[in-house]
């Protein structure tokens, strides 16, 4: 455990709810998500596509577009609720205290402006510097992110650069204002494996240099293992497991996390076949009652018809599952003891 620079964590997401009001019905893309990010910490957020991890990030930035809307909760940046500041204040925070980089470096840069223009635009927006200084900073940043011949590259258009180079430009742009928090939404997914490793290395070194926190969104547990201090596992708009990275990898509790880990191939390991999680992500318009994962869960039990709460199963380790901390089915009956067993018992007695 590290000591925080202030008494409050950098970012606290509390009971965040972001819903999409589509023609076919309401999609609860983010439904009561809470987690926090400490100063200089890297939090990995994992889950399948559509689990709400990106929507959570966009909600923090207040970049949710129609038909989506943040309907509840709060996002505290050093104790200040971002969901309640006015638009001008929020603009001041965006790209300054919190920066974001996106999955698709190919389409995330404006094709009609040079890379240097786009970086210096961010600089001059948030800092009282002249055009020339902003441009010099852009070139500096390009150098910092390891782009050779930065002065020339700054004058080039995005289409003249490769995907990896463009993601470096995105990172340069995001870091040009020294943000306290970098939100990286699948930063390496669209890149070749070797380029992926380079970009991760770059992010690591810049994290040390700037002492910034990172919200790293990915579906790739390999990336998490490489980078993250803490891990948040999301499923169907909810957090299902949360702990420090070592615990999640060593002692996963939620069957979904276990499934994710089992589906990673490992070098030198002899396995007949890769484990997969059975079934598909539930239709967001037609979520199952009770535990959202029960249809795909190898441990599904009658009690799963009641939604399990997110509970601390060990110090700093939260899981949304009825299994006991040891991973056993909860004992139900007179011999059962403990909070979880009691909750399970009352859940079973209540009409579903």
Residue 334 near another protein by CB under 8 A: no
Sole window of 92-100, 236-244, 312-320, 327-335 interacting with another protein (rule: CB under 8 A): 92-100
Beta bridge partners of 22: 25
Rounded to whole angstroms, the Cα distance separating 282 from 270 reads: 32
User: Residues of 133-159 as b/e, b for ≥16 C-beta within 10 angstroms?
Assistant: ebbbbbbbbbbbbbbeebeebbeeebe
According to CB under 8 A, which residues from 200 to 219 bind another protein? 219
- Minimum CB separation of residue 223 from another protein in Å reads 9
Tell me if 168 contacts another protein by CB under 8 A. no
**Binding residue for another protein, selected from 12, 39, 76, 102, defined by CB under 8 A:** 102
Nearest distance from C-beta of residue 335 to another protein, angstroms: 28
- Alpha-carbon distance 117 to 236, whole Å? 39
> What is the spatial distance between Cα 336 and Cα 351, in angstroms, rounded to a whole number?
20
Q: Which of residues 45-74 bind another protein (CB under 8 A)?
A: 46, 48-49, 61, 63
236 contributes a contact to another protein by CB under 8 A:
no
> By C-beta, is 36 or 48 nearer to another protein?
48
Q: Which of residues 267-306 bind another protein (CB under 8 A)?
A: 276-283, 286, 288, 294-298, 300
181-185 and 98-101 as β-strands: parallel, antiparallel, unpaired?
parallel
167 binds another protein per the rule CB under 8 A: no
Cross-sheet strand order for the sheet of 68-77? 25-37, 11-22, 68-77, 80-81
Which of 4, 80, 81, 92 lies at the binding interface for another protein (CB under 8 A)?
92
Number of residues that bind another protein (CB under 8 A): 59
Place of tokens 């819903």: 19
Is the Cβ of residue 314 or residue 352 nearer to another protein in the bound state?
Answer: 352
Residue (119 or 144) nearer to another protein, CB:
119
Query: Using CA atoms, how far apart are residues 78 and 209, in angstroms rounded to an integer?
Result: 21
Task: Check residue 327 for interaction with another protein (CB under 8 A).
Answer: no
CA distances from 134 to 120, 121, 140, 165, 177 (A): 5, 8, 10, 20, 11
170 contributes a contact to another protein by CB under 8 A: yes
Spatial contact of 63 and 86, defined as CB atoms under 8 Å apart: no
Stretch that binds another protein, among 97-105, 130-138, 141-149, 197-205 (CB under 8 A): 97-105
Helix (H, G, I), strand (E, B) or coil at 94: strand
95 is a contact residue toward another protein (CB under 8 A) = yes
Considering only 5, 78, 91, 204, the residue that binds another protein (CB under 8 A) is 91
Q: Give the Å distances, CA to CA, from 66 to 20, 21, 36, 70, 256.
A: 8, 8, 26, 11, 31
Least distance in angstroms from the C-beta of 102 to another protein: 6
- Going across the sheet that includes 98-101, the strands are 98-101, 181-185, 213-218, 42-46, 230-235, 238-244, 317-319, 311-314
Residue 173 near another protein by CB under 8 A: yes
CA distance 299 to 255: 8
Q: How far is the CB of 2 from another protein (least distance, A)?
A: 28
Say whether residue 96 binds another protein (CB under 8 A). Answer: yes
Q: Which residues bind another protein (CB under 8 A)?
A: 46, 48-49, 61, 63, 91-96, 99-100, 102-104, 107-113, 121-122, 125-126, 157, 159, 170, 173, 186, 189-190, 219-222, 259-260, 263-265, 276-283, 286, 288, 294-298, 300
């Amino acid at each position: 455990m590290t000591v925080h620079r202030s008494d409050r964590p950098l970012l606290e997401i509390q009971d965040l709810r972001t819903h999409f009001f589509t023609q076919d019905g309401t999609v609860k893309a983010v439904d009561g998500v809470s987690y926090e990010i400490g100063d200089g910490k890297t939090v990995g957020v994992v889950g399948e596509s559509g689990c709400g991890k990106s929507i959570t990030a966009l909600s923090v930035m207040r970049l949710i577009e129609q038909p989506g809307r943040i309907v509840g909760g709060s996002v505290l940046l050093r104790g200040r609720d971002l969901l309640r500041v006015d638009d001008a204040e929020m603009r001041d925070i965006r790209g300054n205290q919190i920066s974001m980089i996106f999955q698709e470096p190919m389409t995330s840069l404006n094709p009609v402006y040079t890379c240097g223009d786009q970086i210096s635009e961010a600089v001059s927006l948030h800092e009282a510097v002249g055009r020339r200084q902003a441009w010099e900073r852009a070139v500096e940043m390009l150098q910092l992110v390891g782009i050779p011949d930065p002065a020339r590259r700054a004058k080039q258009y995005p289409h003249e650069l490769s995907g990896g180079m463009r993601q470096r430009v995105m990172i340069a742009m995001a870091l040009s204002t020294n943000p306290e928090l970098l939100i990286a939404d699948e930063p390496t997914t669209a890149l070749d494996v070797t380029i992926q490793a380079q970009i991760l290395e770059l992010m690591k070194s810049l994290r040390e240099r700037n002492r910034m926190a990172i919200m790293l969104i990915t579906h790739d547990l390999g990336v998490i293992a490489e980078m993250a201090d803490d891990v948040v596992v999301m499923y169907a708009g909810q957090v299902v497991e949360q702990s420090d990275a070592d615990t999640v990898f060593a002692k996963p509790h939620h069957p979904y996390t276990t499934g994710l880990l089992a589906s990673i191939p490992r070098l030198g390991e002899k396995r007949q076949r890769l484990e997969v999680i059975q079934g598909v992500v539930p239709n967001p318009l037609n979520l199952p009652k009770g535990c959202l994962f029960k249809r795909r869960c190898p441990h599904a039990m009658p009690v799963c018809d009641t939604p399990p709460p997110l509970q601390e199963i060990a110090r700093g380790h939260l899981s949304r599952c009825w299994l006991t901390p040891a991973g056993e089915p909860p004992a139900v009956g007179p011999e059962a003891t403990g909070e979880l067993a009691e909750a399970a018992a009352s859940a079973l007695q209540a009409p579903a």
